[in-house]
């Protein structure tokens, strides 16, 4: 990131800081005991690093002495508001940056609850989020409230409270513009929907072969903990690496099966009928995504994926 972009980013952050503090004060006062019993929960993984989970969706929360960075705003204004109230109550620091990984509605409808926060995403994330909102006939106000003010292409670094918080684009995967967050000094990464923990991959807008290469890059990060965007996080968060490797193996199995079908001259329809991946059939998402996964991977290998 250039110096001018860094300067712009921090001017934005400073300008929004006052509003942020006000929002947090209001949220604090609204957090009554009865309201604590709602669906989302904030869990600390290691000191300063949290995950806010609502059903099987996980949002990353990084706390510093100068404020908080959130990864993914989740599926509604209500749940995002609840996440912010919980952050205000537990961490007692304002949210300064929202990083968004995938443009899908179930991770970006909540962006509207972050109007006082600098929003960051990959440049293709911005393009695809805008196109999706136009398809959905979202109002101009909603579009403005959800779009990032800051975009990047390869990487961007947030320096906050003594932490070097890297926002990285490692290649296509769940979408063409997934962002991850990596904090080298604390050996932790948050990888959003690039990692479905103990679930079948969701690939309607994804790229099976590229996803595998991107996960190779994720596995090569010097991190002890790799936080999934979906699915459970083990009691010992260091076990996430093993879960990631199981997910990586699913992509290997998918790629190998499609490659074998292509090698024997199968058409896309024949490959979709033949490849069952039975070892994953008990997993959530298998029924709806197996065929999509085969078809998109087939097209990606044949160079016909749009
Ligand atoms: Zn998604």
Ligand 1 mean position, distance from CA 289 (Å): 13
Ligand 1 mean position, distance from CA 131 (Å): 15
Please say whether the beta carbons of 200 and 285 come within 8 A: yes
d(CA 274, CA 289): 15
Residue 24 pLDDT greater than 80, yes or no: no
Tell me what the mean pLDDT of segment 54-83 comes to.
96
Ligand 1 mean position, distance from CA 26 (Å): 31
Which pLDDT tens digit goes with each residue over 120-154? 999 999 999 999 999 999 999 999 999 999 999 99
Edge-to-edge strand order for the sheet containing 188-190? 155-160, 163-168, 180-183, 188-190, 225-227
Instruction: Record the tokens describing residue 127, joined without a space.
Output: 């393009």
Ligand 1 mean position, distance from CA 57 (Å): 10
Domains of the chain (ranges; CATH) run 3-302 (3.60.15.10)
pLDDT value of residue 4: 55
Question: What's the pLDDT band for 306 if we cut at 50, 70, 90?
Answer: confident
Residue with the bigger pLDDT between 306 and 155: it is 155
Which pLDDT tens digit goes with each residue over 72-89? 999 999 999 999 999 999
Percentage of the chain surpassing pLDDT 90? 87
pLDDT value of residue 177: 97
Instruction: Record the tokens describing residue 168, joined without a space.
Output: 């990285």
Which pLDDT tens digit goes with each residue over 221-260? 999 999 999 999 999 999 999 999 999 999 999 999 999 9
Ligand 1 mean position, distance from CA 179 (Å): 12
pLDDT value of residue 268: 98
Residue 19 pLDDT greater than 80, yes or no: no
Residue 10 pLDDT greater than 70, yes or no: no
Question: What's the pLDDT band for 39 if we cut at 50, 70, 90?
Answer: confident
For residue 121, the cross-strand partners are 151
Taking all residues of the chain, what is their mean pLDDT, rounded to a whole number? 91
pLDDT value of residue 31: 40
Instruction: Record the tokens describing residue 6, joined without a space.
Output: 């860094």
pLDDT value of residue 11: 56
- Find, among 282, 202, 215, 203, the residue nearest to 244 by Cα: 215
Question: What's the pLDDT band for 6 if we cut at 50, 70, 90?
Answer: low
* DSSP β-ladder status, 163-168 and 95-99: unpaired
Which pLDDT tens digit goes with each residue over 84-121? 999 999 999 999 999 999 999 999 999 999 999 999 99
Ligand 1 mean position, distance from CA 200 (Å): 13
Which pLDDT tens digit goes with each residue over 183-223? 999 999 999 999 999 999 999 999 999 999 999 999 999 99
Ligand 1 mean position, distance from CA 188 (Å): 22
Ligand 1 mean position, distance from CA 107 (Å): 7
pLDDT value of residue 58: 98
Report pTM: 0.88
Please say whether the beta carbons of 123 and 152 come within 8 A: yes
Which residues contact residue 222 at a Cβ distance below 8 angstroms, ignoring those fewer than 6 apart? 184, 187
Tell me what the mean pLDDT of segment 31-50 comes to.
74
């Amino acid at each position: 990131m250039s110096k001018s972009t860094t300067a712009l980013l921090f001017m934005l952050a400073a300008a929004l800081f006052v509003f942020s503090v006000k929002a947090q004060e209001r949220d604090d006062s609204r957090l009554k005991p009865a309201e604590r019993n709602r669906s989302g929960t904030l869990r600390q993984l290691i000191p300063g690093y949290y995950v806010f989970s609502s059903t099987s969706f996980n949002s990353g929360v990084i706390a510093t002495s100068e404020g908080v960075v959130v990864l993914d705003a989740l599926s509604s204004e209500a749940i995002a508001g609840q996440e912010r109230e919980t952050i205000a109550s537990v961490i007692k620091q304002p949210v300064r940056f929202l990083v968004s990984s995938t443009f899908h509605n179930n991770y970006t409808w909540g962006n509207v609850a972050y109007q006082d926060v600098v929003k960051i995403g990959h440049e293709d994330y911005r393009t695809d989020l805008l196109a999706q909102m136009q398809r959905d006939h979202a109002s101009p106000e909603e579009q403005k409230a959800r779009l990032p003010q800051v975009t990047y292409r390869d990487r961007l670094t947030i320096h906050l409270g003594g932490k070097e918080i890297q926002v990285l684009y490692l290649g296509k995967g769940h979408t063409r513009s997934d962002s991850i967050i990596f904090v080298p000094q604390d050996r932790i990464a948050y990888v959003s929907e690039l990692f479905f923990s103990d679930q079948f991959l969701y690939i309607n807008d994804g790229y099976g072969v590229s996803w595998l290469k991107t996960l190779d890059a994720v596995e090569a990060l010097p991190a002890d903990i790799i936080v999934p965007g979906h699915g459970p996080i083990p009691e010992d968060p260091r076990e996430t690496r093993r879960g990631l490797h199981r997910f990586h193996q699913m992509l290997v199995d998918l790629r190998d099966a499609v490659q074998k079908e292509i090698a024997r001259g199968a058409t896309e329809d024949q490959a979709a009928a033949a490849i069952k991946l039975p070892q994953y059939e008990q997993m959530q998402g298998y029924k709806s995504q197996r065929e999509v996964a085969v078809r998109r991977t087939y097209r990606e290998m044949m160079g016909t994926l749009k």
